[in-house]
Chains A and B, each alone.
Chain A
Amino acid sequence: MTGLGPLLGKELREQWRTKRLLVVLIVFAAFGIASPLLAKYTPELIRALASDELANAVPPPTTADAVDQFLKNVGQTGVLAAILLAMGSVALDKERGIAALFLTKPASRGAYLLAKLLAIAATLLAGTLAATAVGYGYTGWLFETLPVGGYAAMGLLLFLQLLVYAALTFLGSTLARSSLVAAAFGIAGLALVAFIGALPAVGSYTPGGLSEAGRALALGQQPERLIGPVATNLATVIAIFVVAWWAFRRQEL
């Protein structure tokens, strides 16, 4: 992994210079605020606008609704951000011939790839932490104060979930010469993961399974499965990186 430090520094500066880090922080924080608000006031809005019969059928909002909204909104936006962050990471460098330039310096191909993936992970982590912090504050304000450790653990599990989708798109970006093909690879990966997630025996080991565990932890409950899904998803990210590295080593740049 020769040259990892300087390459990672360059990638992190790039995330800041292109305003990607800032935008991810703002968008994630906005969804962190919006989720408890939606959970709290959507039933009130329906009651105000609907007929009496329908209004009576709407149950009062609960803290679990706020956590569900958070996981849904930040999860969906996060997947989009993960794909957008990773799609051009390697493919654009190859398209413009920049990758070959970097690798003429004393830097290994493994370090080049790892620096890119770590910078994407750092941006996603920063965004997820921002969303988690404001989501926690707003949930406490509008509903009840949840255990801070459990809520933070939910944020970290959400981050791991997004990292899997980023890694899948990153693999596409490494294999392809076009960022659009990489995005298509990420979306196909998303569909595949959703399909596997629907299978009864293995569903809880997919990234979607991490949401279930995160939900339970945030609400102060014991998740049915935790270590298995975390280990499986971490191993998936590492395996995807190894495949990307193996393929990249054999590519003509």
Chain B
Amino acid sequence: MTLQEALPLILPLLALQLILIGISLWDLTRPDRRVKGGNKWVWGLVIVFGELIGPLVYLFVGREES
């Protein structure tokens, strides 16, 4: 299978991953957002490098709810 043949299959997956990272980073960078441990950079790394699970963990555990 060539890359051109594989792209239509993989693109929706990449799009979902990017949407998930985008939602999480948008939430993280809100000025009023407080996070567990207080360090937003660490959570940023979790979101970006945690594949699908990173944003899930951030949005469920990382936020201090107001």
Given A22-B23, A33-B12, check contact A44 B1 (CB 8 Å). Answer: yes
Query: Does A113 sit within 8 A of B, measured CB to CB?
Result: no
Residues of chain B lying within 8 A (CB to CB) of residue A134? 12
Query: Does A41 sit within 8 A of B, measured CB to CB?
Result: yes
Query: Does B42 sit within 8 A of A, measured CB to CB?
Result: no
Given A26-B20, A33-B12, A37-B10, check contact A92 B60 (CB 8 Å). Answer: no
Whether A20 contacts B9 by the Cβ 8 Å rule is no
Residues of chain B lying within 8 A (CB to CB) of residue A72? none
Determine the main DSSP class of A at the interface with B. helix
Output the nearest chain A residue to B61 by Cβ-Cβ distance: A84
Given A26-B20, A77-B53, check contact A34 B60 (CB 8 Å). Answer: no
Query: Does A146 sit within 8 A of B, measured CB to CB?
Result: no
Given A34-B13, A77-B52, check contact A26 B19 (CB 8 Å). Answer: yes
Whether B59 contacts A29 by the Cβ 8 Å rule is no
Contact digits for A1-45, partner B, Cβ 8 Å, 1 yes 0 no: 000000000000000001110111011011101100100010010
Q: What is the size, in residues, of chain A's interface with B at 8 Å between Cβ atoms?
A: 26
Tell me the minimal C-beta distance from B66 to chain A in angstroms.
Answer: 11
Report the Cα distance A38→B27, complex, angstroms.
31
Report the Cα distance A41→B60, complex, angstroms.
32
Contact digits for B27-66, partner A, Cβ 8 Å, 1 yes 0 no: 1000000000000000000000000110111011100010
Residues of chain A lying within 8 A (CB to CB) of residue B24? 23
Query: Does A240 sit within 8 A of B, measured CB to CB?
Result: no
Residues of chain A lying within 8 A (CB to CB) of residue B13? 30, 33-34, 37
Query: Does A216 sit within 8 A of B, measured CB to CB?
Result: no
Given A19-B27, A23-B23, A92-B65, check contact A29 B16 (CB 8 Å). Answer: yes
**Other-chain residue from B10, B12, B56 in contact with A23 (beta carbon distance below 8 A):** B56
Contact digits for A36-77, partner B, Cβ 8 Å, 1 yes 0 no: 010001001000000000000000000000000000000001
Residues of chain B lying within 8 A (CB to CB) of residue A26? 16, 19-20
**Which of B17, B19, B27, B59 gathers the greatest number of chain A CB atoms within 10 Å?**
B59
Residues of chain B lying within 8 A (CB to CB) of residue A18? 59, 65
Tell me the minimal C-beta distance from B2 to chain A in angstroms.
Answer: 12
Residues of chain B lying within 8 A (CB to CB) of residue A92? 65
Report the Cα distance A22→B6, complex, angstroms.
27
Whether A27 contacts B12 by the Cβ 8 Å rule is no
Output the nearest chain B residue to A96 by Cβ-Cβ distance: B65
Report the Cα distance A81→B61, complex, angstroms.
11
Tell me the minimal C-beta distance from B36 to chain A in angstroms.
Answer: 11
What are 11 inter-chain pairs, A to B, with CB distance below 8 A? A18-B59, A20-B60, A23-B56, A23-B59, A27-B20, A27-B52, A31-B52, A37-B10, A81-B60, A84-B57, A84-B61
The 8 closest A-B pairs by CB, nearest first: A84-B60, A30-B16, A33-B13, A26-B20, A23-B59, A27-B52, A26-B16, A27-B56
With A23-B59, A30-B20 known, 4 other A-B pairs at CB within 8 A are A18-B59, A34-B13, A81-B56, A84-B57
